[in-house]
Each structure stands twice: as C-alpha cells, then as structure tokens.
Structure 1
C-alpha cells in the first residue's frame, strides 16, 4: 500500500500537493468553524442583535451586526494562522525566506479576511433579516464563505508564498 501511495505522489506531484492543501484546508476549517460557533453563540451572542451604526464604511458594506462581524473576523484569523503553519511545513515543505513568506501571507490573509468578514457578515445579515437565522443556516453560510477564497489562496500559496528553491525541488517529492 505504501508503495502505491509513493508511486502516486511521485507521478502526480502537483495533484498530491493540492490534495494535501485540501486536507489542510479541511482540518483548519474545522478549527475555524469551532472557533466561529463558540464566538457566535457564546462569546458574542449578545452582540448578534447590536447594529453597527457608528461606522459608515461597515454600514455601506452591508455589515449590520457586531456579533457576526467579530465572529467571522476572529475565527478567520485563527484558521489562517493554523493553515499557514501546516501548509508551510507539511503541504509545500517550503524553504522560502520565512520573513518574506510571512509578509506575503499576511497581505493575502488581510485581503481574504476582509473579503470573508464582508461576505460572511453580508450573508449573515441576509439570513437574519430573512428569518432563517438558525445554527444550520449560519454554519452552512460560514462553510461557503470559507471555501470561496480557495480560488486565489491555493495558487498564491503554491507559487508565490511557499515556494521551494529550485535546488530543493530537484531532490524532493
């Protein structure tokens, strides 16, 4: 069995990296969803009814409730931090300059967290205002919001952030 897996990973290196990236994403998504649920239904429960009225930009973006906003923001930070560590060490086995990789990752994450916070809060507001505000709908929305950024996070992490030197690529799987 191990021989078949080794043969597969050598023959389909790029597919194997994407499989590991997907597994890492699923693992860190579970962590992110647990943190989100804890924040949404325990820590910030009292803020789920508190409107964001003191910020014109947030109101313009459709972010209406503080509880949803903070829950999405904090859970995304936790998930992306775990993802960075796992992808750097396990998925891509990166030997790129850690300072540069971290800076590039932070830039990507700032954009992604801003998108997730806006998109998640926007959808959360739609769910709340439509009367479908229940645990299943909110968690399904969170899952959708977390999945969309894969469109840009995989290529950025694979080819920009967690590169491997050409010398290292020649001798590794």
Structure 2
C-alpha cells in the first residue's frame, strides 16, 4: 500500500514523517494545519479553508521549521466524494506515520471508524478538538463555573465518551 501511496499521491515515506489530518468535512482540518504551520488562512502557502467541502484530494504541506515533517490535508470523510466505507483505503491512510483526527462539535461514528482502522494497522492516532473556544464558551454559560472547571469538565466528558466506545467495541467482538 505504501508503494501505491507513493505513486498515487506522492507520499514520500523515506524523507518525511507523514501526518494526515482527517475527520468529517468542515471539522477544521485545514484551519488546524494552517495554525500548526503558522499561516493565516489567506496566506499564499496556506491550506484552503471554507464552509463547503474544500479539500478534494490529499494535499501535502511541509512545516517551515521542521523540513522532515509533512502534514497532509485530507478530504472530509462522510461526503459523497469520500464515503466512510472506502475512506481509509482510498486515501492511503495505512501509509501514514500518524493520524490526527480533527473533531468538530462531537465525536462522530466516522471518527471512530478511522481510529479503529488505524489501530488495526498500528498507526498512532491523536484526537484534536477544533473550535474548542466556542464549545468552552457554550459550556461556561451552562455550567456557570470557572474556565478551568469548564475545561476539566469538557476533557472528562470526552474521555468518558472514548471509554464507553471502547467498552462497546470490546463487548461487540467478545
């Protein structure tokens, strides 16, 4: 599969540590990449950002200070162009060194499916919650606590959600 990835999307597994930013369409993958690279959304070298499906094929960006790190902006999962059933294989995700699953408002089934397939292929996964400032502001209004309390509560809720998914999966396969 790595050979096909090298051929189809020019994934260089020899010179670069390849990181794929994946997740549902509109979750903030391109914005996260721009933030990591230090680009404003309007910069010439920045990943294209938009409210509609913007990334149609895997696109690589070299970090300006870490030349051996390549960050890939991947199409959003769960669209007509990138259905969940073929997303992992079609985008050669098994050839990447790390998958960063960018979450929007909540953990979705598509995110879980990507993480499960990554685990099968022994690819490390990092979950990143985008737009967390908006989510925290909303939670602060509901919980009426300090910012630190709200952050801790949000992190705890996410951890519990991941653990419950893990337990459901274990029951499903045992």
Q: Tell me whether the two structures share a fold, i.e. TM-score over 0.5.
A: no
Structure number with the higher strand fraction is 2
Higher relative contact order (CA 8 A, sep 6+): 1
Structure number with the higher helix fraction is 1
Structure possessing the higher radius of gyration over alpha carbons? 1
Question: TM-score, normalized by length of structure 2?
Answer: 0.27
Question: TM-score, normalized by length of structure 1?
Answer: 0.27
